[in-house]
Structure 1
Amino acid sequence: MGKAEFLTPKAIANRIKSKGLQKLRWYCQMCQKQCRDENGFKCHCMSESHQRQLLLASENPQQFMDYFSEEFRNEFLELLRRRFGTKRVHNNVIYNEYISHREHVHMNATMWETLTDFTKWLGREGYCKVDETPKGWYIQYIDRDPETICRQQELEKKKKQELDDEERNSKFIEELVRRGKEGKEEFKNLYVALKQCNCNRVIPVIFAFNLNKGQSASATAAPKSSTLGPSPLQTIASVKRKEPGHTSSDTKDKKKKSALDEIMEFEEQKKRSLRKDYWLHTGIVVKLITKKLGEKYYKKKAVIKDVQEKYTAIIKMIDSGDKLKVDQTHLETVIPAPGKKLLVVNGGYRGNEAVLDSINEKNFSATIIIESGPLQGRKVEGVQYEDISKLA
C-alpha cells in the first residue's frame, strides 16, 4: 500500500498521531524512536539500525545507563526548580508533567526502576527533602544557587538592621516615658504637701514667687511660712532658683515640644553621624580616576558587579566590557541627570534608592527625594556628591 498523499484524511490522521504520546513499552531509548503498536516495535527491533545501536551499547552498557540517568535527573530537577521552586509537591505531579514532553528520557533506560526509588535517591543525595505520607511521596527542592544564598543573606541582614533600629527607637521612647513619669511624681508629691497645709497661708507665698514682686513681698511672707513648715516652700524656691536665666518664651517652646519632636531630632542627629569610611555598593556606576591601569581606562565609567572586604570592587567597564579588580581609592561616584535614579552610598540614608531633584554646584551638594524604605517621599537637601551615585 502506498504512502498517503499530502493533506488527505489519512495523512492528516498520521501526523496527529505522531505528535501525541504513545505507549512507553513501544519506545526505544537507544534509537529514540516511538512505535505506535506492537507490530511496529517488533519490526524496529529487527531492523539493522537498531541492531547496530545494541552492539554499541553492549560494548559499555554502564556508560549509556549513566548518561541517560544523568539526563533524566537534570531535566527532572530543572522542571521542579523552574515550575514549583522550593514548594512541597507530590512526586507524581512532577513526573506526569515531565513525561508530557514527547522527547523526554524514559525511566526504563535509567538506573532507577520506579519513581519511588528515584524519589528516595534524591533524598539520600541531598537534592530534595522527601517525606512519605498516606497519599504518597512528597518532595521539596533545595535551592543551593550562590545568588539565591547571597540574596537570602542580604535579606536577613536587612531584617536584623531594621530590628536593631526598632529596638533603639523603643528604648528611646521608654526613656522619655520614664522621665515623664518621674516629673509627674515630683509634682504630685509637691501638690500633696501643699494640700495638707492651710490654703489661706500658701496662696500668698505662691503669688509672691510667681510675680517676682521683690524682697518686701517675700519678707512679709516669710513669717507666715515659718508656721507652715519649711518643706513645701523650700521645694518651690529651689525649683524657681534652678531656672533664673530662662524667659517665658523658652518655657513655652519647651512645652510645645512633644515626644515625637524629640524622636525626630534624635533620628536626624543619628543619621548625620552614620558615616563610614567605605561606600562601595553593587549595581552603581562609578568612574576610574587612576592612570595606573593605563589611559584606556582613565576617566571611564564602569558598573560595580561585586564588593570584596568592603574596600575592593570588581567592576565591568561599560565601553569595553572588561572586568577589573580595583580599590575604593581609585574610584569616584557618578552624579546622574536630574530626575534619574541614584543610590545613597554613605551617610544616614545609606542603602536607600532616591531620585535626583536638583544640584547645587557652589556647595558641591545635591537635593534628593528618597524612594525606598520607611522614609519614602522625604526630600533631603545638602547631600554631598561623594554620598550618592548613579544606578546602573
Structure 2
Amino acid sequence: MFSCTGYAATAADARLGPITLERRDPGPDDVKIDILYCGVCHSDLHQARDEWHNTIFPCVPGHEIVGRVAQVGTSVTRFHTGDLVGVGCMVDSCRECKSCRDGYEQYCEQGFVATYNGEDRQGRGITFGGYSRAIVVDQSFVLKVPETLDPAAVAPLLCAGITTYSPLRHWKVGPGQRVGIVGLGGLGHMGVKFARAFGAEVVLFTTSASKVADGLRLGAHEVVLSKDADAMAREHGRFDFILDAVAANHDINAYLELLKRDGTLVQVGAPETPLPVSVFSLLMKRRSFSGSLIGGIPETQEMLDFCGKHDITADIEMIRMDQIEDAYARMLKSDVKYRFVIDMATMPATA
C-alpha cells in the first residue's frame, strides 16, 4: 500500500477537504497514474452530498482523470512509464457477460465498478476517485490520451465526451441528417462539437438567449430558443435525431414532436424525476425515445483517437483543488463554460 492525498466528503453536509488515502500497490495487471487533471461532473456533487442516497463516506469523487503513468505491473504491455493516459467512469466489470465481451462494459450484467463510490470486485473496499494525487487502475480500464491535445481539456471527454459521442455513433449520425442538441452545458457543448464533426446539420435548442452566440461558435448551424413557441412550431417534423442533454425537468414531448417519421430522441441528461411521455408523440410517426449511458472502453478509446485527429476537446475553466465547493455552487447555477477541471498540482502535499 502507499499513501497519497485526496479531497473527500466525510458526510453529506460536510465541505470537501484533504484526506490521506491508502492506495494498493500495482499488481501484475495494474497501472499507477500520477493524476494531472480531473474534471468536475455534476454527479460528483450528487454523490458528495448523498443526493442519490447511496454514498459511502468518506467519498473521494472524480471520474474524468488524465495523468502520467508512474508505474506498471509485470503483465502490463499496453502502457509504459511516462505515457499520457485517462480513466473514466469505470475501473472494472465482470468481463464475462455478453455486454462486457462485446465491449459495452457500461452495461455489464453484474454492474460495472464505478471509479469512485464503487465496490471493488476483488474485495479491496470502496473505490476512491480522481480528486487525488494518484490512482491505481487495471490496465483494461486505462485509456491512451493523444499527446497532441491539451490534457486538461481532455479530462471531461472521459465522461461528458463519451456520453454524447456514444449515442451519436450508435445511431449513425452523419451527413444528410438534421440533428438537434437540447441544452448547452457540459454534455450539450460536446454534443454540438461531435455532431458537427460527424457532418450533420446541427441545431442547438436552448432556453437562454445569452447562449446563441456561443452555440454558433461551438459548431451549431442554427440556434433555436425553446421558449419561443413559434420558433419551435417551425421545427416540427424536421429532425432525424435529437440528443437531449438536459438534466432538469422539461417537456420531452415538445422535442419528440420535432422528429420526422422514424426519428429518434436519445436522453443522456438525467432529471431527478420521471419525464411524462405522451404515447401519441411516439405512435403517430413511429418515433423512438431511447437512452444511452457513457460508453464502453473500446468506444471511449475510439473517441479519444477521433478527438486527436480532429483537435476536439472540452471548453474548460481551470480551478484549484480548494475551490471545489465554489465550483459546485456555480455548477448549480449553470455558471461554467462548460466544464470545471481541477489542476492537481494544487492538491495539498499532505492532509
TM-score by length of 1: 0.14
Mark the structure with the bigger radius of gyration.
Answer: 1
Relative contact order, CA 8 A, sep 6+: which one is greater?
Answer: 2
Select the structure that is richer in helix.
1
Select the structure that is richer in strand.
2
TM-score by length of 2: 0.16
